[in-house]
Structure 1
């Protein structure tokens, strides 16, 4: 074999070796990438399974807590015992119960049964706060879905509220309500809530204290044979519209006269009003405004917080004449 043939054969062998090595490397690289991907997928699956197991354990623990807080498993027993509990809490708070009737509820689930009651009662604002405190300190599976408070013109309020409570499927207890105490309330007792709420009237706008009276300098005047008449003090300068309250189908206006201690007028449509130099008749009252026709024939409107001397004139008798 000549040198030229030997070199050609060596080149061919080298090409075959290089091609085979490249093919073997690609096969190895593909196998390695697939192995790494399978290992990563296995790790991810293991982590997902761990998180799912932890979440399942938490849900099982939560379901156990809900079953503990649930009403009894037997629905008629749950309705009767929860109704008795509601009446007891209302009476303990010193609310007079007018009516307590079951309601249909829109809650539907395969995991629980819901019962609902509507309560109508009346009493002092302090009694309402005591009932709400006792309701929310109870850690039962229940909630207040609506609450309406209507003042009756005195210190009493009319209360209309709706409550819902749950019977969680799987509860073993056949009778008896859960007696645990909730930690959802920020203050320690109902008295603390009463002190913070009742010290200001929740049904009236805030009334700042009257400004201090400034002492006027003494002016020495020349004596006159007939002293000029002293101007009459006008209490209307210190009379404010502090409330527009729903009373049945109508509205009532509350006017507070700050210069006359504990003097609050409760006015209905058609009532006469006389405060200081302000005199007139109430024409209309709604949830935003009180309209008065003054003795001079002006028609004046007042919003919450307005003084009787700062009303907005709708119709002027002078302009009409």
Structure 2
């Protein structure tokens, strides 16, 4: 074999090796890809089966939980238990005129749906308490309808409710309230709910705050009592307005709920007093205002007027002797105070005070009486006003 033939043979052999290796590698690669696809398919199938199994476990767990919070499959036992439970809860929370009626239930799959109507009267606070107790009893029940109508001229409400509760097949016993009662609901305890809900009036328009009508500046004298009346009006005419002091009032300032502010300042200067007017609606609305008090030196007190003043109206001028009688052997004088529509029955020794006159009965005679006024004896005849009694002289001369 020549050199040329040997080279050609080597090239042909190498070509066969290359072609064979390429074919073998393709076959090997195809086999690997096929196995990877089989592994991927099997893995996906396994994941799907695991998912189905997990869903089944979750469904079983839910079913077990539902059975713990459902009524037993016995329709009669469930209906009797739940109706009595409703009645106890309603009465314990203060409902009156309670009427509970079971309705025709419905079968659905592995459960039975019981339905009840409830009617009664209660306040809003009692309704909140009942609703809180209803949901604290953690079973498969709910309100399907709730109607509230205010009773005229009363704080009570006419309440109508539809309630639905479930029985589950496989549940043998009624749930024990102490085992499934929730310690509190999602937003807190009963007080948390009443504090929020009872601050609303769901039957009235939105509340408007009161508006101050009293002046914002007042002058006070040093070390002399200041008395000032706050006033405010409310757009909602039936609302009652009360007043409160704001933060950091000067020491000694007092404010009543009716708006009477009292203070005795002990230093000169200007003082700002924050006051609040709050209405009686639910939820209450309020307005604040700053009252500026300017404390100045006191004015000198005027000299007292010692001139005796006669009253503009003297009852003694319209008090008449209307009769003299003997009662139980004792003489009595009858005086009629017309301005006060008052009748006086006086005997000897009795004192009286009518208008500007103060005196004492000395003697009761036929159709006249002797009285002592300011040390003088006077005679008062029937039909004569007390102020016009005739003077007889000093009492010592009788």
> Normalised by the size of structure 1, how large is the TM-score?
0.62
Match of 1:230 in 2: none
Match of 2:32 in 1: 32
Match of 2:116 in 1: 117
Distance, in Å, in 1 between the alignment partners of 2:27 and 2:92 is 83
Could you list the per-position Cα deviations for residues 245-278 of structure 1 after superposition, in whole angstroms to 9, with x for gaps in the alignment? xxxxxxxxxxx344789xxxxxxxxxxxxxxxxx
Match of 1:64 in 2: 64
Report how far residue 137 of structure 1 moved.
Answer: 0.3
Could you list the per-position Cα deviations for residues 57-112 of structure 1 after superposition, in whole angstroms to 9, with x for gaps in the alignment? 2322221111011112211111111111111111111112443222345x652121
The answer on 1:144 being equivalent to 2:143 is yes
Q: How does 1:179-218 map to 2 (within 5 A)?
A: 179=178, 180-182=180-182, 183-189=184-190, 191-215=191-215
Match of 1:250 in 2: none
**SS in structure 2 opposite 1:66?**
helix
CA contact (8 A) 1:72 1:171 kept: yes
Distance, in Å, in 1 between the alignment partners of 2:80 and 2:61 is 28
Q: Higher RCO, 1 or 2 (CA under 8 Å, sep at least 6)?
A: 1
Report how far residue 210 of structure 1 moved.
Answer: 0.7
**SS in structure 1 opposite 2:212?**
coil
Deviates more, 1:6-15 or 1:145-154: 6-15
Match of 2:128 in 1: 129
Report how far residue 121 of structure 1 moved.
Answer: 1.1
CA contact (8 A) 2:95 2:120 kept: yes
CA contact (8 A) 2:113 2:164 kept: yes
**SS in structure 2 opposite 1:126?**
helix
Change in Cα spacing, 1:6 to 1:82, as seen in structure 2 (3 Å) is same
Report how far residue 177 of structure 1 moved.
Answer: 5.2
Report how far residue 202 of structure 1 moved.
Answer: 2.7
Change in Cα spacing, 1:77 to 1:94, as seen in structure 2 (3 Å) is same
Change in Cα spacing, 1:85 to 1:217, as seen in structure 2 (3 Å) is closer
**SS in structure 2 opposite 1:207?**
coil
> Normalised by the size of structure 2, how large is the TM-score?
0.51
The answer on 1:75 being equivalent to 2:75 is yes
Q: Between Structure 1 and Structure 2, how many residues are aligned?
A: 226
Change in Cα spacing, 1:260 to 1:28, as seen in structure 2 (3 Å) is closer
Match of 1:100 in 2: 100
Could you list the per-position Cα deviations for residues 18-72 of structure 1 after superposition, in whole angstroms to 9, with x for gaps in the alignment? 1111110001111112222333333444444444433332322221111011112
Where in structure 1 are there 5+ consecutive unaligned residues? 219-234, 241-255, 262-321
Match of 2:302 in 1: none
Distance, in Å, in 2 between the alignment partners of 1:178 and 1:24 is 76
Change in Cα spacing, 1:31 to 1:204, as seen in structure 2 (3 Å) is same
Report how far residue 8 of structure 1 moved.
Answer: 3.3
**SS in structure 1 opposite 2:187?**
coil
Match of 1:285 in 2: none
Match of 2:381 in 1: none
Report how far residue 140 of structure 1 moved.
Answer: 1.1
Change in Cα spacing, 1:199 to 1:9, as seen in structure 2 (3 Å) is closer
Where in structure 2 are there 5+ consecutive unaligned residues? 219-231, 243-398
**SS in structure 2 opposite 1:139?**
coil
Match of 1:10 in 2: 10
More strand by share: 2
Distance, in Å, in 2 between the alignment partners of 1:257 and 1:239 is 9
Match of 2:227 in 1: none
Match of 2:85 in 1: 85
**SS in structure 2 opposite 1:121?**
strand
Could you list the per-position Cα deviations for residues 155-200 of structure 1 after superposition, in whole angstroms to 9, with x for gaps in the alignment? 1111111111111122132x565541135442222x4433332244
